[in-house]
Structure 1
Amino acid sequence: MVSESSALALSAVWGCTNLLAGTIGSLPLSVYREKNGARYEDREHPLFRVLHDRPNYDQTAVDFLEFMAASVELWGNFYAEIDRGSAGRVSALTPVRPEQMVTRRLDTGEIEYRWTYNGRQKVKRDREILHVRGFGGCPLGGLSTLQVGRNVFGSAQAVDRAAASMFRNGMRPAGAMIFESYLTPEQREIAETRLVEKYAGAMNSGRPMVLEGGTKWQQFALNPEDAQMLESRRFTVEEICRMFGVPPHMVGHTENSTSWGTGLEQQTLGFQKFTLRRRLRRIEQALEQQLLEPADRAAGVSISFNVEGLLRGDSAGRAAFYQTMVSLGLMTINEGRARENLPPVAGGDVPRIQMQNQPITEAGNDNAS
């Protein structure tokens, strides 16, 4: 049996889930409005405070998004009860544990969501539930990683149990005591029970053993390498990372690993493009489809994550980026300062462009503009 607790007890599962959920949870989620071909953050929209600051009374936005991402990764689904105010606008989102939820399609075409909370059964329709589906999901739900990968997780658990047993026994089956003659029942009891109690275990490792009467000790040359224990553990880490789509080096498994680039910025960019992008887009589209009203969509309102923070390079890289953007007129000085959490300066809202590049036919013409 593979459950949430047993799977998360594996360091690789914990590392992958914690990395994905923590990264998604730390990204600002905001509401935007398109106006005159430009896109602006709409802080006045009722959904802005719910998604950006406080989805419900008990959770912050980071708590909520982390639980959402972890639920999708482990169970393939995330559910939240939608509370609407008197005007029909979303006022709160209260998450529901995915293992408690049962879904079915009604004859009316609606989807029914049923779960138990504090001993009471709750039944809601699809308009009252926010449902983010994971990979391969039909309308009733996505595929659960815990179920699809149960063989991978079960093998990893078996390897961990074997390793724990090996360490508990002092990392060796010890060896064999060779006697010159057959033992009496009493002597066999001493050899099999009392000696094991006295010398077995890592705490007793190194204790000298006294043998007499021609008894010989033959050490077994069995170690974790011979048992391929270490190789098996490495393989299970790579298998688990493959299940979650996380590069092994990003969860601390650096042996024989490769990366997308030579710098942290390139590695982060690759992680965002091939792992995070589809997860973020899945969440954004679910929120837009289920939380925005038709009038909002017609007015150009959208919901998206701000991934700019993931792409921040070092000081030299950021300076080169801003210099290029400002010199080409693609960004104003104050826009660059705002990204660095600096106050605006006078005259910094005007786009600027360098004028030294002129047609060759105008070279030497002082009147060239």
Structure 2
Amino acid sequence: MESHAGRRVGVENALQLSAVWACIRQTAQTIATLPLTHYARAADGGREPLDERLSEILTVSPNSEQTATEHWEGQIAWLLSNGNCYAERVNTGRRLSALLPLPASRCEPRRLSDGRVVYDINDRGKRDTLPADKVFHVKGFGFGGIKGLSAIRFGLQSIGSGLAADEMAAKMFANGMNPSGFLKFTGTLTPEQRDSTRELLTNFSGSSKAWKVLVLENGMDWQAATLNPEDAQMLETRQFSVEDICRWFGTPPVVIGHSAKGQTMWGSGVEQILISWMTQGLNPLMRRIESRIGRDLVRPERPGTYVEWNREGILQMESKAKAEFLQTLVNGGMMTPNEARTKLNLPSIPGGNTLLVQGAMITLDQLIARAKNEDTP
């Protein structure tokens, strides 16, 4: 599609903008590198990690060519750019045996007259139509249709303006950051003289030829156009473009290395921004994918189980805060010492699987037994 800025916008050229690239890369990498685990609900209300064929496909290796990180990174990148991500479900009998990624730009869901949804796929010059039970489809934000909405499609004007601003800045640098101007002559030039003058000027164009001395003769005079350096670099326009694109992808500018005026890249304020990004940006996206995996892949084979990304990897605190956090959980009887040591990548210790409470650090069952003895007449 063509924007009002005169630039055509698609996924490939949108990725030429560093802000678009960074928003998609940061979100996709952050989620895909978190631990993804397949759980079964335990009888006591807890959960137990599973290790079986379905778990391996979802969390280790979805197909013969990709790791789980590579697969989900690509799927999330398509989800952010196209609003949808697709994978072909390969079954052995009734059991899932592989997930093969499909390019979202070449898949088109279509509803038939009887209400069924099929997927038209154009892959490597071949056209095919797959039924819904053969395609794993995650839809992005939308209004409940059979497709999600694309941030690049609806952010056409913002991205087009950013591309136009980058192109204009690049042309300024190509001209050595020297503003355009006018050559003045006392008389009228012949066509041959005009051609020779243009050829002369090409020898002084480009950043590699900046500050070369131009010799003017025969009444030739140079008059520069007025354009200050700030206007030439369009700093404010390009800064606004970054912040505007971040809105479309739900990514705080500080996450992609862009700080607003008066804001630093470090400190407690940035930490709160990252927490907000996790709760309002990443978590809804993860829940969307987890729910679709549970509905379409897990429930048909292993009812009562589910997959979940470990969110704790996003909120890694500094050592003092993390030590105080774990100590509070251990002292309050909500976490065993060995569970706390696992969070710190430390080996388990003997006797560390018992819950403790404050007060001489005795075990919880000893405290209950003591209370019963005190109530006995």
Question: Using a 3 Å threshold, how does the CA distance of structure 1 residues 65 and 230 change in structure 2: closer, same or farther?
Answer: same
Aligned to 1:162, the other structure's residue is in SS state helix
Aligned to 2:352: 348
1:255 aligns with 2:260: yes
Question: Aligned residue for 1:241?
Answer: 246
Q: Which residue of 276, 291, 294 maps to 1:285?
A: 291
> Structure 1 residue runs of 4+, over 6 Å off?
none
329, 333, 336: which one pairs with 2:337? 333
In structure 1, C-alpha distance between the alignment counterparts of 2:45 and 2:274, rounded to whole Å? 28
2:178 alignment partner, one of 172, 182, 188: 172
Structure-1 residue corresponding to 2:364: none
Q: What's the % identity of the aligned pairs?
A: 37
Q: CA deviation at 1:214?
A: 4.8
Q: Deviations over 1:106-159 (max 9, x none)?
A: 234321112133443332211111110011153421012221111211111111
Q: Which residue in the other structure is 1:317 paired with?
A: 321
Aligned-pair CA distance for 1:41: 3.5
When normalised by structure 2's length, the TM-score is 0.87
Instruction: Give the equivalent residue in structure 1 for 2:226.
Output: 221
Partner of 1:138: 144
Aligned ranges for residues 71-82 of structure 1 at < 5 Å?
71-82=78-89
Q: Deviations over 1:318-364 (max 9, x none)?
A: 2111111111111001001112222111000000001279xxxxxxx
Structure 2 partner of 1:163: 169
Q: Comparing 55-64 with 101-110, which one deviates more in the overlay?
A: 101-110
Q: Which moves more between the two structures, 187-196 or 328-337?
A: 187-196
Contact map agreement 2:28 2:76 (CA 8 A) in 1: yes
Which range is displaced more, 105-114 or 306-315?
Answer: 105-114
Residues 192 and 231 (structure 1), Cα distance of their counterparts in 2 relative to 1, 3 Å cut: farther
Aligned residues: 356
Mapping 1:18-37, distance limit 5 Å = 18-37=25-44
Give 2:211's match in structure 1, choosing from 206, 213, 235: 206
TM-score normalized with structure 1 length: 0.89
User: In structure 2, what is the Cα distance between the partners aligned to 1:352 and 1:100?
Assistant: 57
Is 1:2 aligned to residue 6 of structure 2? no
- Seen in structure 2, the aligned counterparts of structure 1 residues 263 and 345 have a Cα distance that, compared at 3 Å, is farther
C-alpha contact 1:224 1:230 (8 A) present in aligned 2: no
Structure 1, residues 244-301: CA drift from partner, whole Å, max 9, x if none?
011111111113265897165433322101110110110011111111235733xx31
Q: In structure 2, what is the equivalent of residue 14 of structure 1?
A: 21
Q: CA deviation at 1:206?
A: 0.8
Amino acid at match of 2:296: Q
Once residues 263 and 320 of structure 1 are traced to their aligned partners in structure 2, the CA distance between those partners, rounded to angstroms, is: 20
Opposite residue 256 of structure 1, the aligned amino acid is K
1:54 is matched with: 61
**Which residues of structure 1 form unaligned runs of 5+?**
358-366
Deviation at 1:195, TM superposition (A): 3.0
Corresponding residue for residue 273 of structure 1: 279
C-alpha deviations, 1:160-212, integer Å up to 9, x for none?
11111111112223433444x21332685267413312222222211112224
Structure 1 residues 51-89: Cα deviation after superposition (integer angstroms, max 9, x where no partner): 110011111001101111101100010111111223x12
Q: Is the 8 A contact 1:25 1:63 kept in 2?
A: yes
* Structure 2 unaligned regions, length at least 5: 1-7, 362-372
Confirm or deny: 8 A CA contact 1:149 1:243 kept in the other structure.
yes
| 1:249/1:257 contact within 8 Å kept | no
Q: 2:368 matched to which residue of 1?
A: none
1:40 equivalent in alignment to 2:47: yes
Question: What residue in structure 2 maps to residue 362 of structure 1?
Answer: none
Whole-angstrom distance in 2 between the partners of 1:16 and 1:118: 29
Partner of 1:69: 76
Which residue of structure 2 lines up, in the alignment, with residue 154 of structure 1?
Answer: 160
CA distance 1:328–1:201, change in 2 (3 Å): same
Structure 2 residue 126 is the aligned partner of structure 1 residue 111 = no
CA distance in 1, matches of 2:124, 2:227: 53
Does the 8 Å contact 1:326/1:352 carry over to 2? yes
Shift of 1:97: 0.4
Code of the aligned partner of 2:327: Q
AA paired with 2:95? R
- Aligned residue for 2:230, secondary structure, equals coil
SS in 1 for 2:314: helix
